[in-house]
Amino acid sequence: MKRRPLGRTGIHVSEIGLGTMTWGEQNTQKEAFAQLDLAIDAGVNLIDTAEMYPVAPRAETQGATERILGAWLTARGRRNDVVIASKITGPGRAFGWIREGQTRLTAETLVAACEGSLRRLGVETIDLYQIHWPERSTNMFGQLGYTHRADPDATPIDETLKGLDALVRSGKIRAIGLSNETPWGVAAFLHAADREGLPRVASIQNPYSLLNRTFEIGLAEFAHCEDVGLLAYSPLAMGVLSGKYEGG
């Protein structure tokens, strides 16, 4: 399996990554271990998780996916063979049990979220740390028809990026990424990085499939021209393209 550079980070990832969002809810630890063993043996080296996982998200299971991945890393001793990606939960989606609802993307919440993920994973560094979704109100998770809703309390992108920079400089993360982001959001992060000398966004994790090609409108140009890699999620459109829903 070929591997490609992740932006300008020096990190090389396999063409296919392993998503983990069902571990601890729909899948047991034993099943997760079997999936990981199979994937690594096949050449996969990118493992993507998030502090919010598993889904459907619940207070009782939050963080279980990272803990399962951490248990596998300890049991197999394969930390140096994989690229670990995780994500900080964004605000405004009723996750009051995560950091007692403190999910604004401030420097303080970035540190708290990252350190929590590091503990659950049992590692010293997360290779790619991503913002799961923007703090501002915008078109994400398939939303169409943009309506601007100003939030005077929203954390400025510059402040969020400076918080991520501090995590990079402390050695807790290697590279930064975005998820469920728009062309304007990617441009704002890149502009702030170039203006302030801060880390550039290495990747964007957005849905992309035969049924969802919105990435091609604006974001594909950014990815190509600014060397921002796409980590495509839901490539089978949540299972629709697999055929598993045929026949009712």
Clarify whether 129 is annotated catalytic.
Answer: no
Are 207 and 142 contacting, i.e. CB atoms less than 8 angstroms apart?
Answer: yes
Task: Extract the tokens encoding 49.
Answer: 């998780």
Of the candidates 53, 129, 208, 233, the residue annotated as catalytic is 53
- Give 212's contacts (C-beta < 8 A, 6+ positions apart): 142, 234, 237
- What is the Cα–Cα distance from 33 to 27, expressed in whole angstroms? 10
Count the helices and strands in the chain (H runs, E runs).
6, 9
DSSP secondary structure letters along 176-236: EEEES--HHHHHHHHHHHHHHT-PPEEEEE-B-SSS--GGGTTHHHHHHHTT-EE--B-TT
- 87 DSSP β-pair partners: 130
Which residues are part of the catalytic machinery?
53
